[in-house]
Amino acid sequence: MKQATVMATVMAAVLLAAPLATAHAQSPAEFYRDKVINLYIGYGPGGGYDLYARTLAKHMVKHIPGAPRILPTNMPGASSMTLANYLAKIAPKDGLAFGAVNSALIFDPLFSGAHSKAQFNAPDMTMIGNIVSSASVLVSWHTSGVKTIDDIRTKGLTIAATSPSGDTYLLPLSVKNILGLDKLKLITGYPGSREVAIALEQNEVSGRVWDMEGIKSTRPDWLRDKKLNIIAQLAPHKMPEVPADVPLVKDYVSSQEDKDALDVIFLSTVLARPYVAPPGLPPDRTKALRDAFMETTKDAEFIDDLGKMQMNVDATSGEEMQKIVKDAYALPAATVEKVRKALTPP
């Protein structure tokens, strides 16, 4: 009798576990069939992050097994820190959620240290892919009278940024600190690119850090009508999208340590439009999303849609992104300390 009871208990446990085992054994096509994937966007509508993400959502569905729907949803806040923390702590870890976050945000726990508001360790997050490397530039409004770095030293420049955790703040902050530009002022609190553009037009601020793709897609007339002065490139090396006569920021520093620190900080321009998912995704679904992402970046219709908005494609795979992030978090302590000093507000 006792043996029969034990056997019944074992059989009940097997039957209870069976649905879980079956679910776990689902192929990506079986899992994704009739599902909705949430693609969250860490900024409001109308800016570069939003345009890239919505175009990606439109075409990526063709390349995911099971043909699920992708629903783009804006979740702005703190330069997408709100979204990144949501993905890390709240979003389901089943492959039905990923997001477009600020490029600098991935490195925030490393560079901000104890001051970071991140609730995640970036190497633990699942890197899906990056659409384009950024030709980031420091620009001034045409009425400012500022056309060079030396002009900033004498005339000053007021930069509009979103929040202290985003690249629109961190990149110019590093320039201010390493080049000693005391008259470069940074004002945070702008929700996104659209609000910053309005602030420039209204002479509320006189400059910002932007990427050439964003300028061309949202304000191409500003380039045509010479309403912007492109002062310097914020990148480890010159980018073809930027006029050849625009200098690199690091051309203005003599110390190799300072040049190296800027190169590390400007890693965020290499991963300019990154897409990340929660940690711990099932490996087969991670692969399905990464493969679909890369196939989309080669999709002729996707490339054509971006081209109509003057936006480029220069993709980085999720695997390569994961390695870049892992290597950054393994930098020597002395290099990290130098970078943290450069990113410390005055």
At 145 the pLDDT is 96
283 within 8 A of 93, measured Cβ to Cβ: no
Q: How far apart are CA 297 and CA 75, in angstroms?
A: 24
At 176 the pLDDT is 97
At 272 the pLDDT is 87
DSSP 67-116: --EEEEEE--SGGGHHHHHHHHHTS-SSSSEEEE--TGGGGHHHHHGGG-
- pTM for the model stands at 0.76
Burial class (CB in 10 A: 0-12, 13-18, 19+), 60: buried
pLDDT along the chain (346 residues), means of 10: 45 46 73 97 92 97 96 95 97 98 90 91 97 91 97 97 88 96 96 90 96 86 96 91 94 91 88 95 98 98 94 94 94 90 89
* Structural domains in the chain, sorted by start: 33-133+270-342 (3.40.190.150), 136-268 (3.40.190.10)
At 88 the pLDDT is 98
179 within 8 A of 217, measured Cβ to Cβ: no
At 24 the pLDDT is 53
Q: What is the DSSP letter of 163?
A: -
Q: 231, 232, 212: which is closest to 222 by C-alpha?
A: 212
Q: How far apart are CA 272 and CA 217, in angstroms?
A: 15
Taking 3-state DSSP, the helix, strand and coil percentages for the chain, each rounded to the nearest 5, stand at 50, 15, 35
At 267 the pLDDT is 86
Q: How far apart are CA 29 and CA 19, in angstroms?
A: 18
Q: What angle do CA 289, 295, 301 make, to 5 degrees?
A: 125
**Residue 262, CA atoms < 13 Å, CB-side half-sphere:** 25
Q: How far apart are CA 260 and CA 129, in angstroms?
A: 25
Cβ-Cβ contacts under 8 Å for 290 (sequence gap 6 or more): 128, 129, 317, 318, 319
The order of strands in the sheet holding 97-100 is 69-74, 36-41, 97-100, 274-277, 126-130, 316-317
Burial class (CB in 10 A: 0-12, 13-18, 19+), 51: buried
Kindly report the length of the chain. Answer: 346
At 289 the pLDDT is 98
